[in-house]
Chain A
Amino acid sequence: MSTQPNHFAPLARLLHWLMALMIIAMLFIGAGMVASVSERHEWLINLHKPLGVAILLLAIVRLVVRFSTQQPPLPADLPSWQVLAAKASHLLLYGLMLILPLLGWAMISASGEPVMLSSSLQLPSIVAANAQVFAFLRKAHGYLAYLLFLTVLLHLAAALYHGWVRRDEVLDSMLRGRDRG
């Protein structure tokens, strides 16, 4: 018997789908709140901050799970450019999952505002208050969030391509626990 599984570990799949929901919600919350002057603006910001920290923590758990479990291999007949694209986009997804919450945390710190996750739960500042640093971090947070959204779209399109066009085991390996064959 081969040691290589043909599906992701149950915990890895749980984290994937939970975080998929959270990250997509987060992207929409972020895009909506900066384009609103209504009460939604405040309501969404109060959701955005704790959700961001939850994503950061789960991303760390997920990396631990990733390195302590075995991943199913990509199909052997996958063209090398697609193998490269898959690996690079996964690296980008993991990187942005970690970097975006940290940038959000750092930009609030740099603005001199207390980093409040609720009306009384406060995180320490991780960057000294500085207007120019704030402006840089705030823009980086916005641009990288758009990059994450585009990467998520690419990931979604690729997953469907595997499931609907190539009809290989890639999509299935994240959907189900057992080999369908």
Chain B
Amino acid sequence: MVDRSSPPPLSAASLIVRLAGIAVVVAVVAGAFAYVNGTLDPQRLTPKKLINVLETNNGVHPGFRRNHAKGVCVIGHFESSGEARSYSTAQVFNEARTPVVGRLALPPGNPYAPDNAIPIRSMALRFTQANGQQWRTGMNSMPVFPVGTPEAFYQLQQAQSPLPSTGKPDPAAVPAFFGSHPEAAPFLAWVKTAKPSASYVTETYNSVNAFYLVNAAGQKQAVRWNMVPQAVDAPGATAPEGSDFLEKDLVQRIAAGPLRWQLMITLANPGDPVNDASKAWPEGRKVLNAGTLVLESVQPQLSGECRDINYDPLVLPAGIEGSDDPLLAARSAAYATSYLRRTSEVSQLPAAKQEAQQ
């Protein structure tokens, strides 16, 4: 070992300067980290804030999804028609059959909301391909999203938050929000005439966000998709009285035989808005009939297979890619936060079950 003589001792001033230098280096790294994790950037919209505002508006229901909290699991499969094969390498479009675990639900974050509280229903699906890759999608019965950005969605939720003074939302806040968000016009026009359906089974469910199909040559085609039901309501059918008719209707209908939807994939023309879910695409686009969704059985959501699935729309197989629609990344991020909260509360679910029965 090479012996080195100790360096001459530092003067007090020099020691202080050197220790301060170390403190500065550590503080700069820690400060940069605190900025990146949002601590020093309180204005940033985070997944936590998005989920917190949903909890503020709907109450906290431990173990349940923070949005679309009331629903039911469905089990079935997808039969590919082969029509999407030349647009996407995804196995789901190339194999004859792909198993599906899905969930039909209502949008509010309150699992005890009456079924006629809102005219929107949702369908979430997880396709498990033979190669192990998955396609998860969460679709809604509205044709467009009210707004195009996560920031606007957050403001819309804030407008519906109870005020601390009255415990009720400000009745002027939502009209004021829509007054300053003209992009919501297509959604508002739709919701004006939309009525709560009597059945999950007669609804068309729309991807709302855009995605890309990617084929073997690497060509990308922007798309949106719809699940179009085979079942139709008798004219003039309206939602029955009572608050829990949707699940009963579904159980009855599925007992009579499998329920079917066609997966219709709309191909965007160049120039169609791919990054804005508040804008519909014009009529006349080419539409592929990619295959048939067949639902064969129903399971309760508190014990069914769908309970522990996070229907993150960016869990995609090779051959399908997310678009640059900013809502997609926000949904993925916010769903992850909701998922962690509710999976941490699984042990509290039986109590919730009793609460529901009371």
Contacts and interface: CB of A to CB of B under 8 A. Distances in A.
Interface of A: 2, 4, 6, 27-28, 31-42, 73, 77, 111-114, 116, 119-120, 122, 129-132, 134-135, 138-139, 149, 153, 156-157, 160-161, 164-165, 167, 169, 179, 181
Nearest to B320: A119
A153 B29 contact: yes
A179 B10 CA distance: 23
Contact of B308 (A28, A131, A157, A164): A131
A60 to B, nearest CB: 25
B308 A135 contact: no
B309 A112 contact: yes
Indicate the size class of the contact surface on chain B: 35 or more
B343 A37 contact: no
Contact of B36 (A35, A134, A160): A35
Interface string B32-53: 1100111000001111101000
Given A37-B330, A39-B324, A111-B339, A132 B346 contact: yes
Interface stretch (B17-25, B70-78, B106-114, B165-173): B17-25
A160 B332 contact: no
B33 A122 contact: no
B124 to A, nearest CB: 14
Interface in B307-324: 307-310, 312, 314-316, 318, 321-322, 324
Contacts, number: 126
A164 B346 contact: no
A179 B2 contact: yes
5 contacts: A36-B44, A37-B45, A37-B50, A38-B330, A149-B33
Nearest to A5: B1
A35 B309 CA distance: 22
Nearest to A31: B37
Interface in B45-101: 45-48, 50
Q: 5 nearest interchain CB pairs?
A: A35-B38, A31-B37, A135-B343, A37-B330, A120-B318
A10 B214 CA distance: 45
A28 B33 CA distance: 6
A165 B332 contact: no
A138 B150 CA distance: 25
